[in-house]
Amino acid sequence: MAKRLNPLSFEVIYGLACERKGGPEAVDALLPKPASKASLRKLPSDRYLAEFTRKVFQSGFVWRVVNQKWDNFEEVFWGFDIERLLMMPDEMLERKAKDPAIIRNFSKVKTIRENAAMIAETERCEGKRFGAFIAEWPTDNVIGLWNYLKKHGHRLGGNTGPYALRALGVDSFLLTRDVEGFLRNRGVIDGGATSKKSLQATQDFFNTLQSQSGRSLSALSRIVSFSYGQNQVGIQR
């Protein structure tokens, strides 16, 4: 078995990314900027449900097609009004799942009402809006939020929940192919990338990079991906 290397410091990783992407200005221009805690707190609960739904439908499907039909989803499901969705009878849900204006996948359509219930239950248990619940979750344990969505939500495990959070502006790293490749190459993880042990090791690694750099987890995730794999100048992953 090939000997694994030790994890690199932020300075070295950033240097590698700059070499591959054309310098610091080019790298920094490609980095995502997470939303502020205030923005996440103010974001209506229906927008969280909408993005969870979008990512559920995009999973294993052509993202472009989902986006093209998205206005129809918004109309058919009443702008993802959670209270209204929770009152929707099964018969109406089945009819909506057959609407040709959307993507007709009943198992995924069911998650809309199920995840509406998850958001409502979270708000009831926590005594706060879902946006505040998300905003107040500690960044140094983002894997805990991933696990919450996986455990209490529907079809929000794997990369679906994390990608939805990133799209919403939540500060989070992502386990993309290049990030996972880097983590394996440097010996940060071994075995399943989403095992409890690997996720904790990944969180610890990114927490260390954040303490070294002061940058967001979202930016650090992108920098790590730029430092490894097939992506070169002019190619984003």
Which of 168, 189, 204 is the last residue before a domain boundary?
Answer: 168
Q: Is residue 71 part of a domain?
A: yes
Percent of the chain beyond pLDDT 90?
A: 93
With a cut of 60, say whether residue 236 has pLDDT above it: no
Q: Is residue 218 part of a domain?
A: yes
Statement to judge: residues 121 and 159 lie in one domain = yes
Q: Is residue 236 part of a domain?
A: no
State whether the Cα torsion 135-141-171-115 is positive or negative.
negative
Statement to judge: residues 16 and 51 lie in one domain = no
Which of 168, 191, 208 is the last residue before a domain boundary?
Answer: 168
Number of domains the chain contains: 2
Q: Is residue 233 part of a domain?
A: no
Q: Is residue 103 part of a domain?
A: yes
| All residues at 6 or more sequence positions from 27 whose CB lies less than 8 Å from its CB, including other chains | 14, 17, 18, 21, 223, 226
Model confidence over 103-142: pLDDT tens digits? 999 999 999 999 999 999 999 999 999 999 999 999 999 9
Residue 32's nearest CA partner among 200, 177, 189, 215 is 215
Statement to judge: residues 42 and 141 lie in one domain = yes
pLDDT of residue 6: 63
pLDDT of residue 231: 66
* Residues of the domain holding 114: 37-168
Statement to judge: residues 43 and 142 lie in one domain = yes
pLDDT of residue 1: 40
pLDDT band per the 50, 70, 90 thresholds, residue 149: very high
Statement to judge: residues 90 and 180 lie in one domain = no
Question: What is the pLDDT averaged over residues 186-190?
Answer: 95
Which of 128, 151, 168 is the last residue before a domain boundary?
Answer: 168
Question: What is the pLDDT averaged over residues 1-12?
Answer: 69
Statement to judge: residues 65 and 110 lie in one domain = yes
Statement to judge: residues 44 and 161 lie in one domain = yes
Statement to judge: residues 19 and 121 lie in one domain = no
Q: Is residue 237 part of a domain?
A: no
Question: What is the pLDDT averaged over residues 31-45?
Answer: 98
pLDDT band per the 50, 70, 90 thresholds, residue 237: very low
Contact 59, 155 (CB under 8 A): yes
Q: Is residue 192 part of a domain?
A: yes
CATH number of the structural domain spanning residue 142: 1.10.340.30
Question: What is the pLDDT averaged over residues 36-52?
Answer: 98
Could you give the CA distance from residue 122 to residue 5 in angstroms, rounded to a whole number? 42
Statement to judge: residues 128 and 194 lie in one domain = no
Residue with tokens 């097939």: 230
CB atoms under 10 Å from CB of 212, counted, come to 14
Q: Is residue 143 part of a domain?
A: yes
Statement to judge: residues 149 and 212 lie in one domain = no
pLDDT of residue 22: 95
Could you give the CA distance from residue 72 to residue 33 in angstroms, rounded to a whole number? 29
Q: Which residue has the higher pLDDT, 4 or 106?
A: 106
Statement to judge: residues 163 and 138 lie in one domain = yes
Mean pLDDT of the chain: 94
Model confidence over 67-114: pLDDT tens digits? 999 999 999 999 999 999 999 999 999 999 999 999 999 999 999 999
Statement to judge: residues 180 and 161 lie in one domain = no
pTM for this model (two decimals): 0.92
Could you give the CA distance from residue 196 to residue 81 in angstroms, rounded to a whole number? 34
Contact 160, 111 (CB under 8 A): no
